[in-house]
A and B are shown apart, each in its own frame.
Chain A
């Protein structure tokens, strides 16, 4: 189907995502990788079927499983149901990422019908399962999985039955092209080469609180020679677009920061509209203490 040999399907509980997955696999002749097939597959490659609890082990697991799936995507076509597939294959150009949703009342109704439960029980089941899924993806993959920008296509099955849904997905796959500017919002930005570990740590803290950042996106010329060539410039470490704020981190001792302070003074003179926050060693020590990162710096 076009350039896509893989479809990952993320779905809300009772959104018909499972039915759409089965039908798409059948129509396209793709292998359906559901939970049981997933467990078999990972067993074949001697990998645990669930992400490990321990952070470093989990990182390794995500990388290994991602590589395994990307290699499989080169050889065969499959529909991957759930399992964080949208994250594991986020960078795979052969994967089409689909999110299937439906309104809460409709999903409650489907649970009531399927499991013969009253509305209260069905609502409770739905809330528990939604929370469980949200936590699983957030905890293990760091994914706000309902963010539509992580997907090529979002389908609301309130308006379409399974057959119509599949037709829409197939049409979307046929018509999907690589955008001229930027790809779909990736779960993780391209890896950034930070020049200091403190910057990487700070970026993780910002990610943790969902604060968007850009790393060294702008160079501010501070001084020019007689021919107009820039002879001194300043590049703050971060820009936080939501706050229109540049952040500079310096872990040097205060008395050694005079050169940087001079640059920042100049920056403020030349660009008075620019907001800059400097995080000095003392402030940084406070951040480490606040976020329990001190032990990494013993």
Chain B
């Protein structure tokens, strides 16, 4: 990758494939004979949802949900695309690309819990507890990252880089991201 906006490669295709497969095994164990409704949150979680669901060997229903992005004039978040599945009495597993501040996820969980599912759990590709503002429970995650901005595998920067197959940090001229990545054993 030669785009000057990109920094260090954080997770390779192989890292991702391995962890997605491990998380799929965990989910299989927990949802045996439960036929969960997997709710992938558009748009970031699409890539993760495809790989994770293909790695699952248990039956499940797949659905999608999209939330309006924050913009100053819009006073409240809106569900732009709702699930088509009736969630009452079902086990719901939310798939996210990243959980950081917890604000979006908290909104989603509250919204889904109102539909009387048997359970609501959260699976995210990346978990970034360093940026958490409100507490949310994350049940499954592939990788935990420090407070850095990453792109690829569904994660974008101003609409770009979603389709990268690997995860990169965004170039940080302060050098802070590089330092944090070094601490986690990544980087050049």
Contact = CB atoms under 8 A, between A and B. Distances in A.
Are A and B part of the same complex?
Answer: yes
A240 B134 contact: yes
Interface of A: 54-56, 58, 135, 138-139, 141-142, 144, 204-211, 240, 242-243, 245, 247, 277, 279, 282-283, 286-287, 289-293, 296
Contact of A210 (B110, B149, B176): B110
Contacts of B134: 211, 240, 242-243, 245
B68 to A, nearest CB: 9
Given A138-B78, A290-B100, A290-B101, A208 B133 contact: no
B73 A208 contact: no
Main secondary structure of the interface of B (DSSP, over half): loop
Contacts of B135: 243, 245
B106 A283 contact: no
B76 A293 contact: no
A66 to B, nearest CB: 15
B147 A208 contact: no
Contact of A139 (B78, B103, B110): B78
A283 B75 CA distance: 23
Nearest to A201: B72
Given A54-B73, A206-B103, A290-B101, 16 more contacts: A55-B72, A56-B73, A208-B76, A210-B76, A210-B107, A210-B110, A211-B103, A242-B134, A243-B134, A247-B133, A279-B133, A282-B147, A283-B147, A286-B131, A292-B71, A293-B72
A211 B76 contact: no
Ranked nearest first, the 9 interchain pairs of A and B with the lowest CB-CB distance are A142-B75, A55-B73, A291-B70, A209-B107, A209-B103, A243-B134, A208-B70, A142-B76, A208-B77
A208 B110 CA distance: 14
Contact of B75 (A208, A289, A291): A208
Contact of A287 (B74, B76, B101, B149): B101
A204 B72 contact: yes
A292 B70 contact: yes
A144 B76 contact: yes
Contacts of A289: 149
B77 A210 contact: yes
A273 B95 CA distance: 33
Task: Point out which of B101, B107, B149 has the most chain A C-beta atoms below 10 A from its C-beta.
Answer: B101
Nearest to B71: A292
